[in-house]
Amino acid sequence: MRLTVLTDGNLTPAQAELRRRIQAGPRGVGATRGPFEIFLHAPAFGDIAQQLGAHCRFGTSLPARLSELVILITAAHWRCQYEWSAHRPIAERAGLSPAVIDVVHACGTPDFAEADERAVYAFVTELHTTLRVSNTTYQDLHAFLGDAGTVELLGILGYYTMIATMLNVFESPPAAGQAPPFPDASPGAEG
């Protein structure tokens, strides 16, 4: 980790308040690693970001299965160690197929049993690849999510893109006890 790891003993009052707010929210007392460690270094920004993240994760109209698919596609795109390792088990609990998860991890195109998952995957990967989406791709997704859901999906994608870049730049390790899901993307792996 490129930032100093902050502990209860070396937090400013603003940092301590942010940690309290994060842990009092929907993520609970376990929310102390990954992006939350980073947010503590800029508490005013961190508080706004963690509130947006809580909404993106727990407050949208998207089923958790689809939200987690967006998060995993984004984590694989950015080869983000922490984001992938933290969200893979969440995605499985939300009902995303382990086979689909494995193919997303390899940046392949899964054989989706669910049409809504196929539409989400096509939309997110097309946006990552071409920086736009075609009318057909947009309409396919919109048919499942409508206006509000499509806006929320883009909010989730944008939030987790921000998180992936922060985690990568500050070299956050995978979630506790997990091996790096992208070993060739680990610090020092550049060639």
Please state, in angstroms and rounded to a whole number, the distance separating the CA atoms of residues 68 and 101: 10
Q: Is residue 190 part of a domain?
A: no
Please state, in angstroms and rounded to a whole number, the distance separating the CA atoms of residues 23 and 31: 6
Q: With cut-offs at 50, 70 and 90, classify the pLDDT of residue 191.
A: very low
The pTM assigned to this predicted structure is 0.90
Q: With cut-offs at 50, 70 and 90, classify the pLDDT of residue 166.
A: very high
Q: With cut-offs at 50, 70 and 90, classify the pLDDT of residue 96.
A: very high
**Pair 172, 2: CB distance under 8 Å:** no
Whether residues 97 and 142 share a domain: the answer is: yes
Which residue type occupies 122?
Answer: A
Rounded average pLDDT over 97-121: 94
Q: With cut-offs at 50, 70 and 90, classify the pLDDT of residue 174.
A: confident
Q: Is residue 138 part of a domain?
A: yes
Whether residues 70 and 164 share a domain: the answer is: yes
CA-wise closest residue to 85 among 21, 34, 147: 34
Q: How many distinct structural domains can be found in the chain?
A: 2
Whether residues 50 and 81 share a domain: the answer is: no
Whether residues 165 and 76 share a domain: the answer is: yes
Domain holding 42, by residue range, is: 1-59
The whole-chain average pLDDT of the chain stands at 90
Q: What is the pLDDT of residues 21-56, one digit of tens each?
A: 888 877 776 667 889 889 999 999 999 999 999 999
CATH at 115: 1.20.1290.10
Structural Rg of the chain based on CA atoms: 17
Q: What is the pLDDT of residues 61-70, one digit of tens each?
A: 999 999 999 9
